[in-house]
Each structure stands twice: as C-alpha cells, then as structure tokens.
Amino acid sequence: MNPHASMIITLSLIMGPLITISSNHWILAWTGLEISTLAITPLIAKQHHPRAIEATIKYFLTQATASTLILSSSIINAWTLGQWDITQMSNNTSCAILTTALAIKLGLAPFHFWLPEVLQGTSTTTALILTTWQKLAPLSLLVMTTQSLNTPLLLLLGLMSTLVGGWGGLNQPQLRKIMAFSSIAHLGWMITIITFSPKLMLLTFYTYITMTTAMFLMIKLLETNKISMMMTSWTKLPTLNTIMILILMSLAGLPPLTGFMPKWLILQELTKQHMFIIATMMALLSLLSLFFYLRISYCATITLPPNSTNYLQQWRHKTNQKPYLAPMATLSITLLPITPTLLTLL
C-alpha cells in the first residue's frame, strides 16, 4: 500500500476509538466510531480477491447500519431530555436501540453472523485488529451508559452469545472462524457482567485482548489457517507449539492460567447477586468452547512421532520472530496469581 495512505489509515485507526473513549458528547462518540469503521475498511479490502471484497461489504454494511442506529438513539434521547451527555442516557426507547446497535457493532449473539465471515475473508493481522482494537469503542460506550442499560436484555444477549459462541465453533475446521466464535463467547461473558460490575468487565476485556493477541500472533507465525494444518506445526517451532496449547487452555478458562481469573470472578459476582441459574448456565456453556479449544490442541499434539501425520508438510518460509509474542504469551499464561493486584489497579 501507498505509504501516505497507510500512515493515514493507521493514524485514524488509532484515533477513532480514542476519540470515542475520551468523548462526553454523543456526536463526538459517533464521529470516533465512523472514523474507525472507515479506517479499517481499506485494510480489509487490501487484497483484491473476491473473498476480501465480500468481507469488506459485509463489515461495512453492518457497521454503517449500527452507527446510524446509535446516532438515531442519541437524537431520540436528546429530544426527550434536551441534552447530549453520554452518561445520562435515561430514555428507555433510546437505551434499547443503543444496546441493539452496540450488539450489532460488537457481534453479539442474535447479530453475530457477520463476524466469522469477515474474519475468514481477511488476513490474520486485520482479523487481530477487528477482534481486539475495534471492540474497544463500543465496549467503552457500553461502560459509559452502564447505569441506564436494561439488565434483562443484556443478560439475554450475554447468554445467547455464550451459547452461540460455543455451539458455532464445534464443527468448524477454519481457525479464524473458531477464533471469531471464541470472541463471541468471551463478549457474552463481558456483557453478562457489565451492569453488575463494569470493573470486572474491563478486567475480562483486558485478559481477552491479551489471550486473543497471543493466539492470533501464534497463528500468523505458524502460518496455519485450518485445524488440519496444525498437525505439522510442531515441525516448525516445537516450543511455541507447547505454549500455544497453554494459551488455548487459558482461553478456555482452566484454573492455573490467566483465563480462569475473569470466569472465576464473574461467577462469584453472579452468585453474589443471587443469580445461580445464570451462573450455572454460563459455566456449563463454556464447556462447549472448551471442546473446540481441546480439538485444536489435540490436532497440534497428537501427531508427534512415532505416529505419522496425515497432512502434507507445508512449504517453509523464513519466519520473522515477533518480538511482542513473548510478553503476550507470558501474560496470557501466568497472570492468575496477581489477581488481587489487578483488581486493585482497576
């Protein structure tokens, strides 16, 4: 890409969510959302093959519709209350429209259909940006309006997302689609807890960003995009293959790893609020996600010698070691012992 164009795209990609986070006025928040949507669009469409164009069209249509819905909800709120403050969104209609629009933007369960397909059509780096940095602005809007949001609606969205995120990834051979469904499931956990404790939701979001970044960097480094290609990944970087299994278990939320921390705290908070049924359902639904993470780990480990692989060896490119993969992998494995520190920091 042209260096000027890529500089402008990168700058506005960074600026857009930052404008939304730091804004106090609905127009400015909407401006930030629009800037980030318009900036990521050329990045998705950069490779001019039909799949990239299709992914761009799907992404653009959903995001544009969601941002118009956000603006219309704020206009309705301004008509009834006469002000544009984000934190004082107390009209019920506009709150419901806003929640729906942000669910479309994030890819929550009844509106999730665009996310796996868009991730499948892009490169791994763009998919990483889409699943981490682009979620920041809508989630920050949800945190800012958290006093006036409708709790049963959010609980329904969260439960459905956890269900769909686990269910959709079960029969999926493509790694990026699996990561999309894992992203939907994690967002479901975040949305469930958001009205009870926004701090906990932020903690979940940070750990989710760390684990997803580590996993996407790993996928990019190993150049695998299907589960069956994982079978030969141990021949490239054996140590990294072992660490990848740990990261996958951390995404699934198994105890000695980082991913257990948000799930543990969320279940504790839900139990404190006397929502035993929802806590039980969330815990059981995360088993579905555990199944497909285990399937990836199985394919990555089970074909070590003396067994023979039933997948062809890939062509070996010269791999550049990513310097930020090591801290991300370390953080996504070992953060559980400092949970109290993290809770006081937030």
Partner 1 sequence: MTPLHFSYLSAFIVSIMGLSLHRTYLISTLLCLESMMLSMFIALSMWPIQLQTSSFMLTPMLMLSFSACEAGTGLSLLVASSRTHGSDHLQNLNLLQC
Q: Does 199 bind partner 1 (CB under 8 A)?
A: no
Please answer whether residues 249 and 336 qualify as being in contact, where contact means their C-beta atoms are separated by less than 8 angstroms. Answer: no
Amino acid identity of residue 282, one-letter, is M
**AA identity, residue 316:** R
69 contributes a contact to partner 1 by CB under 8 A: yes
Minimum CB distance to partner 1, residue 171 (Å): 11
Radius of gyration of the chain (CA): 20
82 is a site residue for partner 1 (CB under 8 A): yes
Q: What is the C-alpha to C-alpha distance for residues 345 and 335, in angstroms, rounded to an integer?
A: 14
Answer yes or no: are the C-beta atoms of 186 and 161 closer than 8 Å: no
38 binds partner 1, rule: CB under 8 A:
yes
Contact track, partner 1, 149-168, x by CB under 8 A: --------------------
Residue 226: strand pairing partners:
174
For the chain, where are the E strands, in sequence order? none
The answer for 305, left when phi > 0, alpha when psi is -120 to 50, beta otherwise, is beta
Kindly tell me which of 100 and 210 has the beta carbon lying closer to partner 1. Answer: 100
Q: How far is the CB of 229 from partner 1 (least distance, A)?
A: 16
From 2, 3, 4, 50, residue interacting with partner 1 (rule: CB under 8 A): 50
- Report CA 17 to chain centroid distance, whole Å: 15
Least distance to partner 1, CB of residue 77, Å: 11
Q: How far is the CB of 97 from partner 1 (least distance, A)?
A: 10
Residue 78 within binding range of partner 1, rule CB under 8 A: yes
Which of the ranges 5-13, 72-80, 216-224, 303-311 carries the binding residues for partner 1, by CB under 8 A? 72-80
- Rounded Cα distance, 304 and 239, in Å: 13
From candidates 1, 79, 319, 327, binder to partner 1 by CB under 8 A: 79
Residue 212: which of 135, 286, 113, 272 has the closest Cα?
Answer: 135
Give the span between the Cα atoms of 258 and 317, in whole angstroms: 32
Does residue 291 bind partner 1 (CB under 8 A)? no
Count of residues of this chain found to bind partner 1 when the rule CB under 8 A is applied? 34
Task: Examine residue 225 and tell whether it contacts partner 1 (CB under 8 A).
Answer: no
Phi-psi region of 172 (alpha: psi -120 to 50; beta: other; left: phi over 0): beta
Crossing angle of helices 50-81 and 114-121, rounded to 10°: 140
Decide if residue 57 touches partner 1 (CB under 8 A): yes
Decide if residue 65 touches partner 1 (CB under 8 A). yes
> Site for partner 1 (CB under 8 A): which residue of 120, 183, 250, 258?
120
The contact set with partner 1 (CB under 8 A) reads 27, 30-31, 34, 38, 41, 45, 48-51, 53-58, 60-61, 64-65, 68-69, 71-72, 75, 78-79, 82, 117-118, 120-121, 174
